[in-house]
Structure 1
Amino acid sequence: MTDSLLIPTENDYLDAHAGASQQEQYKQLWHTELKTKRDSKGQLEFPWEFQVVQGFFKQSDSKTDDKVFNYATDHMGRLKPWKVIIDDLLQLNQEAPDNVEYKLLFLARHGNGYHNQIVETYGLDRWNKELHKLGKFGDIEYGPDPQLTPLGMAQAEENHRLWQQELQEGAPIPSKFYVSPLQRSCNTLQITWADLKPKSIVPQVDELIRETCGRNLCDKRSPKRVIQQRFPDFNTDGVVDEEDVLYHDDERETMINQSIRINKFLQKLFDLDYDAKNGKVDKKLAEEDTFIATYSHAGTIRCFINVLGHRNFTISTGGMIPVVIKGTRSS
């Protein structure tokens, strides 16, 4: 794969390393408020705390230069054969205390969309001043909810070939797929996994992992019925309202608020394997759901990285980062 389309750009790098002060504010908020916040029944709202497990992938190692690193030409960045990764995670889950669980998340970003093409053509300054609020410029339509460009489709096809190769080398097929309701993410997932995953594994559309909400028209989603028409094989229960009530023209969601939203997604994900009645992780479920794939956006992945305490890492358009996570539940 010498002619890879998954090489990070300068914009990708700047995007991945933006918002340092908000990252710091989120961390403070976590320690001073969120960690101990309780609901009306006295239950912790965020009982799970997360940390990145080193030694599995190059991306979590500070020595890896994220400005030039390309997972697609480097076996996804793995430091061990798949069989060892799978066995190690199985052992970690088997030997974990009752309140601890390990997962490997494949955090994928959608391929190039028409809004990305506009930014690349006219620059970020012009985007931020005027183009972000438009749906069409010249003959390019890019909002709301833009489609993938031919380049975006080709990036997803490159990921398809990569997964094909890695599956032959023993990679696991994720047991669950979660996807943003925006069609660029849904299409990226569809193209990447065409004929590779069993039809019985139904992707779940989840608004919690959509792109940063508001201000940019490209981040306004389509009505629920349209999503269902476009992607009849997807489960859309994670989209509550018919119309997009989360999008506002004049206000952009902060990185702090989006990080809280991503934390809620992770809480929900880890709670699926937790037996509340007996107060412990269900080992069988933990084993079945060790490998999870999400298909989302640059801003969303930046918040995943923030919540998990992973080092900031550049994700190319159409790119992906695998992260091994340890979740520890407080009672």
Structure 2
Amino acid sequence: MSTKPDVLDVLNSQILDDDRAKYLQTQSQLNATWTFEIVPNYFKQSLAETDETKFNYFDEHFGIIDSWERAFADLRSLNEKSDDNTVYKIFLLGRHGQGYHNMANLKYGEKAWNEHWLHLTGDGEIVWAPDPELTELGQAQAKDNNYQLKVELNRNLRIPTKWYSSPFRRSVDTLIGSWQDIVDLKEVKPLIKEDFRETIGVHLCDKRSTRSVISEKYGPLGFVIEDGFEEKDVYYKDDYREKVWEQALRQNRGFQDIFNSTDKKGDAFISITSHSGSIRTQLMVLNHRPFAIGTGGMIPVFVKATKRQL
């Protein structure tokens, strides 16, 4: 069941001019090595005429315009012909399936959620914080992704060589459900990265579990936690919500690390499972048009990265 974005998803996918300007003004804080742009005409989601509210990525085979064969052949050719300062990758960006916080938002509505319920752990019927788990629908959405990925593999989609996840359970469990029995997670060792977490602060559902809890649950399944990952969530604050431009800087830092630490030719197709807010700013960082993703949704992005000459 492909989950199309709802009105709120579309609204939350937009970037205000002030946030975009502030991000551009503060990029120098990163001392970033790489700049990013989209390679056009490979995926429908990058086209201005594609209506995100009507787009069904299952029916559209993840939005591929020509064929997976052409996309990956061109990806290989571009990396072979480019100099050392230019790298091409395709990212498959996935949003976690429905979590209990999403269910609660639907139950109470956006206004009541923002004014009251997001500060609490639950209502006596639903527990949605901190670090909520997937609902039955969210688990089903991951399974549907698994089915569609197998369809695309039969149409010559490649398997990524690197997997990354937000540290939240809803993202890690979506990654597991989407890729189970396609790859052996104990072999590919997905990396849990703090940078790819959801917008930080105020919303109690966006406070993560401790490192010990994450390690105990997901370490035996093959997941690796990045170096420097603190035991407690030192970033979450009850009284400050991360700005969009601040989250964009954080996502940029995550991409800088990927391009600095992965092989140009061997790691050209990469999976990242995160959140709606994370994907909004990931697309911004990569210079992709805003594109709303429903719960459990995925969007592929063909990226050209250029190393800055310092």
User: Normalization by structure 2: what TM-score?
Assistant: 0.96
1:265 corresponds to which residue? 254
Give the alignment partner of residue 16 of structure 1, picking from 9, 13, 16: 13
Give the alignment partner of residue 141 of structure 1, picking from 121, 127, 138: 127
CA deviation after TM superposition for structure 1 residue 217, in Å: 0.3
Give the alignment partner of residue 273 of structure 2, picking from 295, 299, 313: 295
2:203 corresponds to which residue? 216
2:81 corresponds to which residue? 95
Q: Does 1:151 align with 2:137?
A: yes
CA deviation after TM superposition for structure 1 residue 234, in Å: 0.5
Question: How many residues are aligned here?
Answer: 306
Gaps of 5+ in 1: 38-44, 274-284
Instruction: Give per-residue Cα distances to partners, 1:240-270, cap 9 Å, x unaligned.
Output: 1111111111111111111111111111111
- Given residue 138 of structure 2, which amino acid in structure 1 is its aligned partner? G
Tell me, in whole angstroms, the C-alpha distance in 1 between the residues paired with 2:84 and 2:228: 32
SS in 1 for 2:183: coil
Tell me, in whole angstroms, the C-alpha distance in 2 between the residues paired with 1:300 and 1:239: 20
Instruction: Give per-residue Cα distances to partners, 1:209-251, cap 9 Å, x unaligned.
Output: 0001110000000011110111122001356111111111111
1:236 corresponds to which residue? 225
1:162 corresponds to which residue? 148
- Given residue 183 of structure 1, which amino acid in structure 2 is its aligned partner? R
Tell whether the 8 Å contact from 2:2 to 2:56 is kept in structure 1 after alignment: no
Tell me, in whole angstroms, the C-alpha distance in 1 between the residues paired with 2:227 and 2:114: 30
Q: Give me the CA root mean square deviation.
A: 1.3
SS in 1 for 2:214: helix
Tell me, in whole angstroms, the C-alpha distance in 2 between the residues paired with 1:297 and 1:17: 14
Tell me, in whole angstroms, the C-alpha distance in 2 between the residues paired with 1:150 and 1:26: 37
Check 1:66–1:238 CA distance in 2 against 1; reply closer, same or farther (3 A cut). farther
1:83 corresponds to which residue? 69
Gaps of 5+ in 2: none
CA deviation after TM superposition for structure 1 residue 93, in Å: 0.5
SS in 2 for 1:145: coil
Tell whether the 8 Å contact from 1:204 to 1:238 is kept in structure 2 after alignment: no
Check 1:93–1:241 CA distance in 2 against 1; reply closer, same or farther (3 A cut). same
Tell whether the 8 Å contact from 2:86 to 2:306 is kept in structure 1 after alignment: yes
Instruction: Give per-residue Cα distances to partners, 1:104-127, cap 9 Å, x unaligned.
Output: 001100000000011111111111
CA deviation after TM superposition for structure 1 residue 138, in Å: 3.5
Within-5 A mapping of 1:1-331: 4-30=1-27, 33-34=28-29, 45-198=31-184, 199-232=186-219, 233-238=222-227, 240-273=229-262, 285-331=263-309
SS in 1 for 2:93: strand
Tell whether the 8 Å contact from 2:4 to 2:54 is kept in structure 1 after alignment: yes
CA deviation after TM superposition for structure 1 residue 10, in Å: 1.2
CA deviation after TM superposition for structure 1 residue 5, in Å: 3.6
SS in 1 for 2:58: helix
User: Normalization by structure 1: what TM-score?
Assistant: 0.90
Instruction: Give per-residue Cα distances to partners, 1:41-63, cap 9 Å, x unaligned.
Output: xxxx2011100110110000101
Tell me, in whole angstroms, the C-alpha distance in 2 between the residues paired with 1:106 and 1:79: 15
Tell whether the 8 Å contact from 1:115 to 1:143 is kept in structure 2 after alignment: yes
Tell me, in whole angstroms, the C-alpha distance in 2 between the residues paired with 1:241 and 1:19: 32
Tell whether the 8 Å contact from 2:94 to 2:275 is kept in structure 1 after alignment: yes
- Given residue 73 of structure 2, which amino acid in structure 1 is its aligned partner? D
SS in 1 for 2:187: coil
Tell whether the 8 Å contact from 1:206 to 1:239 is kept in structure 2 after alignment: no
Tell me, in whole angstroms, the C-alpha distance in 2 between the residues paired with 1:97 and 1:155: 40
